[in-house]
């Protein structure tokens, strides 16, 4: 005689039934494309021919010996590191400055700083193009008032990447500020009161209390900022298109141009796979570092 399933099995079957639709959506639109991209990276395909010639690891070998790939990787890491460091630093300082500001003024300021984060990237990129236009833009007018000629910001290799970084920082500043502000709100005021009674200065409270207790928040922002910056595409595509002379070409734009301009789908798929691996490795390393910090505390 067949036994009736236990309550544990019934609960497991019920949970599986509820999770099945979400799992199918993830499998269809996330996991399958990921696996198919790996397959394409092992082929030579130009988007137009139905045939996909299997070439093994040839695309990966070609990438690793390509000087352009290493140049693009260096530029991507340069953008990622500087945009993340500057946005986290300024976001923390801004959160600290606005933390004690209550009421309508404080809310208005927080909203004002957060608006760029929810604004369309292409729109703010066009705004930045106008600001740094050497002739009719805001920067050009300021230089004209000073009796000097404005540099060609987006056409000069020494300036172009920094202009792109400035836009990235401006867009993410409000988000970083709000996350830090939320983390500060979770720190009990009694800790600061006790530190003040013991004679701790504001600087000592910052380095001995605030920053250590905000370590999980900082780790979260480091990971999310790194992943977001490594995948930057829209603002670079609109502002510079990878120029001048390829000095602002980053990985996602390089992948796009390789796939849809040069019609090298297999090569672009291999670049995508390498980008995924790099982001995964750094994320795992950061998680392990965070776990070690937590154990040492």
- Tens digits of per-residue pLDDT, 100-152? 777 787 788 888 888 888 888 888 999 999 999 888 888 888 888 888 888 89
Measured distance CA(67)–CA(254) in Å, rounded: 13
> What would the pLDDT profile of 204-215 be if each residue is shown by its tens digit?
888 888 888 888
Domains, the chain: 66-263 (1.10.3720.10)
Task: Match 């040069």 to its residue by tokens.
Answer: 262
Predicted confidence (pLDDT) at residue 3 exceeds the cutoff of 80: no
The mean per-residue pLDDT over the stretch 194-221 comes to 83
> What would the pLDDT profile of 251-284 be if each residue is shown by its tens digit?
999 999 999 999 899 999 999 999 999 888 888 8
- Higher pLDDT among residues 264 and 5, named by residue: 264
The mean per-residue pLDDT over the stretch 285-294 comes to 73
Radius of gyration for the alpha carbons in the chain, expressed in angstroms and rounded: 25
């Amino acid at each position: 005689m067949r036994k009736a399933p236990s309550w544990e099995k019934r609960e497991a079957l019920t949970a599986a039934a509820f999770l099945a639709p979400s799992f199918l959506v993830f499998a269809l639109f996330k996991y399958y494309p990921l696996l198919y991209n790996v397959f394409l990276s092992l082929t030579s395909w130009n988007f137009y021919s139905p045939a996909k010639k299997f070439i093994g690891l040839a695309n990966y070998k070609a990438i690793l010996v390509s000087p352009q790939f290493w140049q693009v990787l260096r530029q991507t890491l340069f953008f990622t590191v500087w945009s993340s460091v500057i946005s986290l630093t300024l976001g923390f300082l801004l959160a600290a400055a606005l933390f004690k500001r209550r009421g309508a003024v404080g809310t208005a300021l927080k909203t004002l700083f957060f608006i760029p984060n929810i604004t369309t990237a292409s729109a703010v990129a066009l705004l930045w193009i106008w600001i740094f236009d050497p002739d009719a833009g805001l920067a050009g007018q300021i230089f004209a008032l000073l009796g000097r000629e404005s540099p060609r910001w987006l056409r000069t290799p020494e300036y172009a990447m920094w202009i792109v970084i400035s836009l990235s920082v401006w867009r993410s500043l409000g988000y970083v500020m709000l996350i830090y502000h939320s983390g500060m709100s979770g720190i009990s005021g009694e800790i600061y009161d006790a530190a003040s009674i013991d004679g701790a200065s504001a600087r000592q409270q910052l380095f001995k209390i605030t920053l250590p207790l905000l370590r999980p928040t900082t780790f979260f922002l480091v990971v999310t900022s790194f992943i977001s910056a490594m995948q930057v595409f829209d603002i670079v595509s609109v502002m510079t298109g990878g120029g001048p002379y390829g000095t602002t070409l980053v990985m996602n734009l390089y992948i796009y141009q390789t796939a849809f301009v040069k019609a090298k789908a297999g090569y672009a798929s291999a670049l995508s796979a390498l980008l995924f691996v790099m982001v995964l490795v750094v994320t795992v390393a950061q998680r392990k570092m965070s776990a070690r910090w937590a154990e040492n505390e």
